[in-house]
Chains A and B, each alone.
Chain A
């Protein structure tokens, strides 16, 4: 229970103070993820540097979980190779579909909403947009 409340604090911090949220005009690739079921609609933009993800930003609207997950995603993948970032996106899908541990410790707080099937799409939206962007790059 106390873990859960710490996790929620982390999510709320990312929701209130989102990292890397802003304009995507300079991004090399932009991909959109939207979930008309709840109106979540975000875009993820990527710039590459030396074959790695140099800068990852997002913009859009969504519920707290969606925006917090997007914020955490940008931190988790910046600096990674494309292959590693896509593997992480895939590992997120697996983590939210089956039992298991989070792919990296920095994403542990998302465990707070793992039990809620209704929030799965909220969490994964940014990751899917990222994966689309990397597939297109």
Chain B
């Protein structure tokens, strides 16, 4: 079952106009833009843009490096931001490491934790629906170490098919890397179940939260995952900053990839000792402004309420599925059951290349993605080279979906 906490979900309808007014780019564009590429990156609200500007205007200084008041203030702001982002996923503050991106976070785990633990014949399991960023690091690691990369395949509706995975929780499995929400199919994976089974065998689970954190309630204590990664820019935050959560034991075991300033206790001529985490994993000067932008995005989402965000996006997804599945000449991917999917809808039109769909839609102000979405193994499974994809956020409305449907009709008329 999906791990979406729908408990205490207030069912008030979200006021889209108020949300749109918070996003200057969208407010200025008005009806001329229907931004439905939120799985790629989201637009930014004023509070995030202002937090970054205010940082440089009012609070900017070196983090954890100075004794004067401005430096103290910068350090304090940075740690407050860490605490806000950590609390958002119910993690202890020190177990939330700021990275450059979800991609960097995964590579840190692959190289810093998994690499030294893998032996010839061990297994790493991934799924057919992983983004390249949660696939390639494991593929490369297996090539280097002689471990075996095993793949959990998919059922016809796009959900994970565990039938052919008898050794998934076996003694050779060292790690399972799985996305919480597919960036193509929108399917929500049963992370809690996977983590529970894996924990019994001491298998580490790395969860890609890029499409879940900021889109639905995510609680690492409830999931009981070993690692969770996510990016700020897909949840209203700035580009260039992401996060890595790890269980305390795993972070103690993990080696830092980047060595440098701020991450050491003692540096001797021949030997050095690392500072405790999170500092151990944040070598170099910290990205203060984007950390403050990240925490402002979290605050903004919490003001709306994550249950409300998820409900709104689910309603829009349902609305989109209802409209699209009644159209002719369209193939929809992913489960129809809304409980099993996030706000992402991938589709193809008969005899119209997704690029052409994307361009026709773009000319009508409808911004959707067309391509393989960094999921070539999944595209091979679907038997297509690419799909078109619409993905929703709290600032989207039924109007945006209607505009998408009109764009699809226009593309069909043009290429019929």
Q: Which residues of A contact B (CB under 8 A)?
A: 12, 15, 36-41, 61-65, 116, 118-119, 122
Q: Does B287 contact A (CB under 8 A)?
A: no
Q: Are A64 and B353 in contact (CB under 8 A)?
A: yes
Residues of the A chain whose Cβ atoms lie less than 8 Å from the Cβ of B384: 39
The stretch of B252-260, B272-280, B354-362 in contact with A is: B354-362
| Bound Cα distance A45, B355 (Å) | 25
Q: Are B356 and A38 in contact (CB under 8 A)?
A: no
Residues of the B chain whose Cβ atoms lie less than 8 Å from the Cβ of A64: 353, 355-356, 415
Q: Does B371 contact A (CB under 8 A)?
A: yes
| Bound Cα distance A39, B386 (Å) | 6
| Bound Cα distance A1, B135 (Å) | 45
Q: Contact flags (1/0) for B121-143 with A, using CB distance below 8 Å?
A: 00000000000000000000000
- Give the nearest-CB partner of A62 in chain B: B353
Which of the residues B359, B372, B379, B415 comes within 8 Å of A119, measured between beta carbons?
B359
Residues of the A chain whose Cβ atoms lie less than 8 Å from the Cβ of B370: 38
Residues of the A chain whose Cβ atoms lie less than 8 Å from the Cβ of B376: 36
Shortest distance between the CB of A125 and any CB in chain B (Å): 12
Q: Are A38 and B359 in contact (CB under 8 A)?
A: no
Shortest distance between the CB of A38 and any CB in chain B (Å): 5
Interface residues of B in 353-388 (CB under 8 A from A): 353-356, 359, 370-372, 376, 379, 384-386
Q: Which 8 A-B pairs have the closest CB atoms?
A: A39-B385, A63-B353, A63-B355, A39-B386, A64-B356, A63-B356, A38-B355, A38-B386
Interface residues of B in 73-108 (CB under 8 A from A): none
Residues of the A chain whose Cβ atoms lie less than 8 Å from the Cβ of B355: 38, 63-65, 118-119, 122
Interface residues of B in 294-346 (CB under 8 A from A): none
| Bound Cα distance A118, B354 (Å) | 13
Residues of the A chain whose Cβ atoms lie less than 8 Å from the Cβ of B356: 63-65
Residues of the A chain whose Cβ atoms lie less than 8 Å from the Cβ of B386: 38-39
Residues of the B chain whose Cβ atoms lie less than 8 Å from the Cβ of A40: 385
Q: Does B414 contact A (CB under 8 A)?
A: yes
Q: Are B372 and A37 in contact (CB under 8 A)?
A: yes
Residues of the A chain whose Cβ atoms lie less than 8 Å from the Cβ of B353: 38-39, 62-64
Shortest distance between the CB of B379 and any CB in chain A (Å): 8
Interface residues of B in 193-230 (CB under 8 A from A): none
| Bound Cα distance A54, B371 (Å) | 36
| Bound Cα distance A36, B415 (Å) | 22
Interface residues of B in 155-172 (CB under 8 A from A): none
Residues of the B chain whose Cβ atoms lie less than 8 Å from the Cβ of A15: 415
Shortest distance between the CB of A34 and any CB in chain B (Å): 10
Please list 21 pairs of residues, one from A and one from B, whose beta carbons are closer than 8 Å in the complex, sorted by A's number: A37-B371, A38-B353, A38-B354, A38-B355, A38-B370, A38-B372, A38-B386, A39-B353, A39-B372, A39-B386, A41-B385, A62-B353, A63-B355, A63-B356, A64-B356, A64-B415, A65-B355, A65-B356, A116-B359, A119-B359, A122-B355
Given contacts A36-B376, A38-B370, A38-B385, 8 further A-B contacts (CB under 8 A): A37-B372, A38-B371, A39-B384, A62-B353, A63-B354, A63-B356, A64-B353, A64-B355
Interface centre among A38, A61, A63, A65 (most CB of B within 10 A): A63
Shortest distance between the CB of B347 and any CB in chain A (Å): 15
Shortest distance between the CB of A114 and any CB in chain B (Å): 13
Interface residues of B in 368-410 (CB under 8 A from A): 370-372, 376, 379, 384-386
Shortest distance between the CB of B368 and any CB in chain A (Å): 13
| Bound Cα distance A116, B372 (Å) | 19
Residues of the A chain whose Cβ atoms lie less than 8 Å from the Cβ of B372: 36-39
| Bound Cα distance A62, B415 (Å) | 13
Residues of the A chain whose Cβ atoms lie less than 8 Å from the Cβ of B414: 12
| Bound Cα distance A40, B355 (Å) | 10
Residues of the A chain whose Cβ atoms lie less than 8 Å from the Cβ of B359: 116, 119
| Bound Cα distance A118, B355 (Å) | 9
Residues of the A chain whose Cβ atoms lie less than 8 Å from the Cβ of B379: 39
| Bound Cα distance A37, B414 (Å) | 24
- Give the nearest-CB partner of B357 in chain A: A63
